[in-house]
Each structure stands twice: as structure tokens, then as C-alpha cells.
Amino acid sequence: MPWFRRLAWTPMILLVASGVLAQPDKKKDDKLPANVSYYKDVRPIFQQHCQGCHQPAMAKGGYVMTGHADLFKKSDTEAAGIVAGKPEISGVYQQIIPQKGKKPAMPRGKEPLSQREVTLIKKWIEQGAKDDTPASARLPSVDAEHPPVYKLPPVIDGLAFNKAGTLLAVTGYHEVLLHKADGTGLLARLVGMSEMVQSVSFSPDGKWLAVTGGNPGRFGEVQIWNVEKRKLKLSIPVTFDTIYGASWSHDSKLVAFGCADNSLRAIDAQTGSQVLFQGAHGDWVLDTVFSVKGTHLVSVSRDMSMKLTEVATARMVDNITSITPGALKGGLQAVDRHPTRDQLFIGGADGTPKLYQMFRTKDRKINDDFNRIRTFAPMQGRIFAAKFSPDGSRVVAGSSSDGKGEVRVFETDTGKSVSTFKGINGPIYALAYHPSGSVIASAGFEGVVHLNDAATGALIRDFVPVPLKK
């Protein structure tokens, strides 16, 4: 959900979701606690270093590490993960220490755990491997066999059609829902680890779905799903907070995203390894998009700026928006790129959608906003979603103002207003243009997906994308 709403939600999340109370151990206090806590000390280590490969949606080695009870079960090799009091026969401990002069087997392919982390885990097992999770943080575990149960429609932050125009991906709580593109049926529920799901994006080749999210104040995650098999391929832990704004490079190789530690990052979508880190923003990075040829990355942030980064060097090479004090009004929330030109459509807190060129053709001058091509008519409230039509001739923006929402379509090259959508009541946080160009999906605070005619704005259909329990 939008960052400011997320803050407002946090107290509610504390009540309904498991374990949000624990903060990551940022101090890295070297002194070991006399009594090692599962909840505060051990679980965050597993979350950061192990659960990406050991969770219900992807149990490598047949071993799940997301719930306390799971840890005591046997893996595929019939070895028990944890034997209380006995680290010497606990698989988890044996896997994180060197064996026969070889570096620790786990975490697979990553740097070994620090000495402190290894000692904490050992001591916790020696002390009985108890679960001290507070009652208020205990929740039934959520996985594909136990999908989320909804009493109310969840806030929707992300929508995406696949290129074939057959699927509509919708963010939910703890999951992404795959619907038929015309809204006539739910096809699959992709249940992952993150409670908050912020963005969804299909790869240009249609094979993969990138999902970003996390648990506020605990961990961030990028998921890569195999669309055809409906199977989680990668779960990459990133930072200690939710992740925003996934986008793909044109060749379906890289996924970029924004983080609440003010960084812009990209990973290799096959291996999950980080290929780009840029720390030039001064606030959360909320959306990203690659240039047409994939040589550059564009990021927008709560710091009000839109920045250009060279992919090969990870260097920030330009501020696309003017950085003159006073020129920018409010944080930027959404960016999209023209399908064939390096032009950018952005929206943010000032409520005025704008079109920019990505690359400067003249040297920067003080006070200029040289890259701006066009300003569209201001909308009600803040803009949270902004997209190009598949042929680039139109743009659509969605906004939120005092509990109401608005969706408007404009002509890209003239700025002329094309349509204002009917049947939109609540704030809009997500938009997707169907590849045919004739239908637009929108959703937001109310948890309802609307499908409108892009040209006339008429409502075709609306539906709640999750099964509701009475």
C-alpha cells in the first residue's frame, strides 16, 4: 500500500499479523544474551538467511524453516533439523558450521553466517530450542494449503496483465491472485512469505512474474514465480522493510525495485544475485523502469526526484526532474516508460501527471526543468499509479483524495483528456492497461478491481478478487 497508509496501518498489522513486534537487530551488540530468544535472536537470522529457500512455497531439501514447529521436522535425508539440547545432531547447526575443512553448506551459495549468529543458534539449541513468540504475534501459518482468509477485501497495490492478455495478476494479503483477464474467474493463488505485497510485474517474455513486498520493519522480499507452473522460483530477502516498484529489463533478464533504505537495486532474475545498487536517493524509492534498450534505469522517490542510473556501472548519471529547490512538489510515487521511446510518465503527491524525456539533449542549467515535455491537467489528490497504453498513444493515471479516487486517460502527444472513469469510488493505487489497449484495470483502497473501457471510461465489470468469508 502507499507508504503513508502503511504507516497508518502498522498498529492494525500488529494486531493481526504474526511477529511484527520484533525489530531487526540493528545494533549488532556483540555481547550474547544469557538466554537466547527464538523470537528476537534466532528467527530474524533464519528469516534473512534461510527462509528464501526453506519456506512452504519452496522447501529446498524438503525442509521448511518459517514456523517454529517446522524446524524440528526431518528433511529429505531424514535428518532432524533441530534436536532440542543437542546441536551436534541438529541438521541446522551442522549445516552452518564448516565440515571436514569445507566451508559451511548453508546458506547455499552465500556467505557463511557470522560467528555471532552461529553461536546464537548453537546456544539456543543447547538451551532447549524453545519458542518464546508472544501470544499476540502468533498466527496460524499461511501457505498454499492454508491460504489467507479474508473477512474484508484487502487493499490492492499492484495489478498487471500478461502480454498475451489472458491473465490479470492482483496483489492480496500474503499472496498474488491470478485472474482471467476479463475478470470472469480466479485461476490461481500464489501464496508467498510476505504479508504485504506491493507490486507485481510480468516479464516481457511472459514466463515470469516478479512480486515485491515484505513485512514492515522486519524483512523485504522479491519473489519470482514461474507463471505457467504457478510455482515460486526465487525468494530473495532484501533489507529489513517492504520492497516497492518491480520492473523488468526488455530481455526479461533483470528485475529492478526500490527499497525503504533509499536504495535502487536490480537482481538477475535467474540466479537472484544482486547486479545493481544505487544509493543516491534521499528517501524511499517507490517505483522503477528500464530504458527501452535496458542500458539505463529510472527511479522515483519520496525525495521528490526522478533519477537516471546507468545499468553497467550502477552510477547515477542525472536528475531527470529539476532539482532546483521549490521546483518539486511532494514525493513521486509512480513511473512508466513509453513502449518504444525513452519517455517517462510520472505521478506523485502534487496530483499533476507529467511527461519527461529520459535523456537530456542540452546541458543542465540552474532552474531548468528541461526534460519535461508536458504537464497534464491536475487530478484530485495524490497520484499513485501511472501507465502508458501498449502503443504509447495514451497515458492513464489514478489518484486518491480524501477517501475518493479518480482515473483519467489522456492523449500522450497532445495532453488532451480522453476519458474519466465511471464507477470508481475509493482511492486508486494500481492500474494496468490490457495489451489490446481497449480495457484498463484499476484498484486500490476498497479492494475492488474495476475493468473500464479505456476510450469511453464506461465500467465493464468490477469484482472483489479474493474469496470472502462471511
Residues that bind ligand HEC (CB under 6 A): 49-50, 52-54, 60-61, 63, 75-77, 79, 81, 91-92, 95-96, 105-110, 113
Nearer to ligand HEC, 77 or 361 (CB): 77
Find the shortest distance in angstroms from Cβ 112 to ligand HEC. Answer: 8
Find the shortest distance in angstroms from Cβ 228 to ligand HEC. Answer: 22
Nearer to ligand HEC, 62 or 467 (CB): 62
Angle at 265 between CA 259 and CA 270, to 5 degrees: 120
Nearer to ligand HEC, 82 or 349 (CB): 82
Nearer to ligand HEC, 218 or 337 (CB): 218
Nearer to ligand HEC, 44 or 158 (CB): 44
Nearer to ligand HEC, 234 or 285 (CB): 234
Find the shortest distance in angstroms from Cβ 160 to ligand HEC. Answer: 26
Find the shortest distance in angstroms from Cβ 63 to ligand HEC. Answer: 5
Find the shortest distance in angstroms from Cβ 286 to ligand HEC. Answer: 28
Please give the span between the terminal C-alpha atoms of the chain, in angstroms, as a whole number.
Answer: 24
Find the shortest distance in angstroms from Cβ 387 to ligand HEC. Answer: 34
- Looking at this protein, which amino acid is placed at residue 385? A
Find the shortest distance in angstroms from Cβ 272 to ligand HEC. Answer: 8
Distances (CA, A) of 166 to 163, 396, 404, 424, 447: 8, 21, 30, 24, 21
Find the shortest distance in angstroms from Cβ 237 to ligand HEC. Answer: 9
Find the shortest distance in angstroms from Cβ 96 to ligand HEC. Answer: 5
Nearer to ligand HEC, 106 or 129 (CB): 106
Nearer to ligand HEC, 237 or 457 (CB): 237
Nearer to ligand HEC, 99 or 417 (CB): 99
